[in-house]
Structure 1
Amino acid sequence: MQTETRFPVTVIVPTYRRPDRLVHCLAALTRQTLPPSQVVVTVRPEDTRSADAAQAFAEALPLDIVAVTVPGVVAAINRGIDHARGAVVAITDDDAAPHPDWLERIEAWYHADDRIGGVGGRDHVFHDGVPETGAARDVGRLQWFGRVIGNHHIGTGPARDVDVLKGANWSFRRSAIGDLRLNTRLRGTGAQVQNELDFSLRMRRRGWRLVYDPNVAVDHFPSTRHDIDRRGEAGFHPQAKENAAFNDTLALMAHFGPANRAVFAAWALLVGTSEFPGLVQGLRLALLRRDRHAAAKLRATLRGRVAGFRDGKTDRREKDGRETAA
């Protein structure tokens, strides 16, 4: 795709108790048009089946299997970053299968502009073999009052700068990462949702561009999470919702200035979204959508929000003391 000297690319795959999916992910990495210079698979010591599944690719891939003893994806990715040797660090989920030109497209973007610190793209989500449909031009954007627009899985159109990348399909320039790591204050013992929001916003505060390109693609087969966050209505758990609301709040409170924090707090508590309901959205879920979990979602979200408002002030002071513009 271009003639410049290639940047060596490290791929990090955090995994936990999904060896069959991991095999599909690693097999996809063997088919890359730009082969990875290093593949780091982070594995918990008790997850011997995943370690064995990864080891089967030792000859096909430049593989490093790295043990991580702390539960959660945050510790797993941080451990992977610590072991990454590439000038570009690409990260995907163990239940994703990158398209053959995934790394080639990612790597090319870092030649386009030295200010690009992160590149991600579309994750084509499949449920029981059936792809989700839809199309969105508005992707990965943080609105001034605190609502985060995702849509990474249905993004269309040309590449564009965004505020937030998605963890199933994201990458970073190693020099942009520097000493930055995923936030260990995020709650949860497994998925630790919203970790991408927190990390992406910290990269943006350092002055780096984040690019979303729908052609930088992976197929994503959302699989069982081995924690209280099970995905979807059937797996609703109040503590998981509280954790997610806390993580969302912590990230945004650290990012916003005083005026935006006040607006965000008012909007989050009074209005909110269907995912993180405030009072208005809580009533909508109960009365219009007949959501049997509406009251529990509202209570859990408000608990997470209040805790996040409190801890976010401290987190912002700590981050502002550490971070300078790149």
Structure 2
Amino acid sequence: MEVSVVVPTYRRTDYLEKCLDALKQQLKPAKQVIVTVRETDQETWAFLDRYPRGSLPLDLVCVEVPGVIAALDRGFSRASGEIIAMIDDDAQAFPDWIQRLEVHYQSNPRIGAVGGKDWIYDNGEPQPGNPQPVVGRLQWFGRPIGNHSLGFGEAREVDILKGVNMSFRKQAIGDLTFDPRLLGTGAQVHFEMSFCLALKRAGWRIIYDPNIAVNHYRAQRYDEDQRHTFIAEADYNQVYNETLAVLDHLWMPQRFAFLLWAVLIGTRSARGVVQTLRFLPQEQQWAIARLQSSLRGRWDAWRAWHRDPQTPTGATIYQG
């Protein structure tokens, strides 16, 4: 099967160089490596002009609109392979990355998406974490579970993949595009949740295999979303985006259970009352600020969804 790889990038040329170098080392070469570059990103254009591409089949795409959603829509529409894989510019794929992706698609025609594990590094140091058996699931009441960097064991079916290391069967995508309602000027957090859940609703299987791996050297983001730092706008955006994706996917009784859980309990990254009380002793006023931004994100997303529930469509319905 032919594989197109999409690499969205913005002003991170040192990381991009290593990402492209790793794609040169694939045991199964990509048919096409699409790098999407912002029109105004002169630094990256200059780098790509001098990059020694060798046999790497680079295809450069200019993007006029800020944000990863616009970049991916342009990149995916350009892809000609039967499989469209995505990797972040600050990640480096293991040599068997494409090879392992292909094996899953060949094993079952109902598999519409495959992703894997990202081994996280901050400032060059590997980040410890306890292995987690549950990865990429959406619980019945709408609580999303990630843990893609902490998965272990055999391949298994999931609901959600992580954008740094995911792929799709082009046939399954059909006319589906990334959700334009999502907020953010750069990362647009949770963009992959809406996309993956749309494929699930169309009847496709989504596979997570921790043996399909990339090293993820988490780099600076050039937008309001800064890792490890609380910024109210970024917090609001990611909660808003998550809420829209979940509301799209659940049935009405589940939606009310989700909103009740979200307000009363929540998670570390999308706070409810219980999580706020948990972190209040160490975070003090910042815990209250996080609660406020999370509740605003939940409320505004609910109002937007209720006013105009534009559930993403376009994925090809699986005909088994």
After TM superposition, is the score higher than 0.5? yes
Contact 2:173–2:316 (8 Å) recurs in 1 = no
Determine the C-alpha separation between the residues in 1 that align with 2:12 and 2:167.
22
Instruction: Say yes or no: does 1:37 pair with 2:60.
Output: no
Determine the C-alpha separation between the residues in 1 that align with 2:114 and 2:140.
23
Aligned-pair CA distance for 1:254: 0.5
Aligned match of 2:123: 128
Give the structure-2-normalised TM-score.
0.95
Aligned match of 1:91: 86
Instruction: Say yes or no: does 1:62 pair with 2:54.
Output: no
Could you tell me the percent identity over the aligned residues?
Answer: 46
Determine the C-alpha separation between the residues in 1 that align with 2:245 and 2:306.
10
Contact 1:254–1:313 (8 Å) recurs in 2 = no
Give the structure-1-normalised TM-score.
0.94
Determine the C-alpha separation between the residues in 2 that align with 1:108 and 1:290.
46
Instruction: Say yes or no: does 1:309 pair with 2:302.
Output: yes
In the TM superposition, structure 1's runs of 4+ consecutive aligned residues that sit over 4 Å from their partners are: none
The one-letter code sitting in structure 1 at the alignment partner of 2:288 is: A
1:1-326 → structure 2 map (5 Å cutoff): 7-55=1-49, 56-133=51-128, 134-232=130-228, 235-287=229-281, 289-314=282-307, 316-319=309-312, 325-326=317-318
- 1:225-272 deviations in Å (ceiling 9; x for gaps): 00011011xx21101100111000000000001010010011111111
| Pair 1:291–1:86, CA change in 2 (3 A) | farther
Contact 2:12–2:89 (8 Å) recurs in 1 = yes
Structure 1: which 5+ residue stretches go unaligned?
A: 1-6
Aligned-pair CA distance for 1:146: 1.4
- Secondary structure of the equivalent of 2:65? coil
- Secondary structure of the equivalent of 1:293? helix
Aligned-pair CA distance for 1:128: 2.1
The one-letter code sitting in structure 1 at the alignment partner of 2:160 is: V
| Pair 1:314–1:27, CA change in 2 (3 A) | farther
| Pair 1:315–1:90, CA change in 2 (3 A) | farther
The one-letter code sitting in structure 2 at the alignment partner of 1:208 is: W
Contact 1:22–1:95 (8 Å) recurs in 2 = yes
- Secondary structure of the equivalent of 1:152? coil
| Pair 1:295–1:259, CA change in 2 (3 A) | same
- Secondary structure of the equivalent of 1:54? helix
Aligned match of 1:4: none
The one-letter code sitting in structure 2 at the alignment partner of 1:175 is: Q
- 1:56-112 deviations in Å (ceiling 9; x for gaps): 144331111100011001111111001000000000000000000000000111001
Contact 1:198–1:251 (8 Å) recurs in 2 = yes
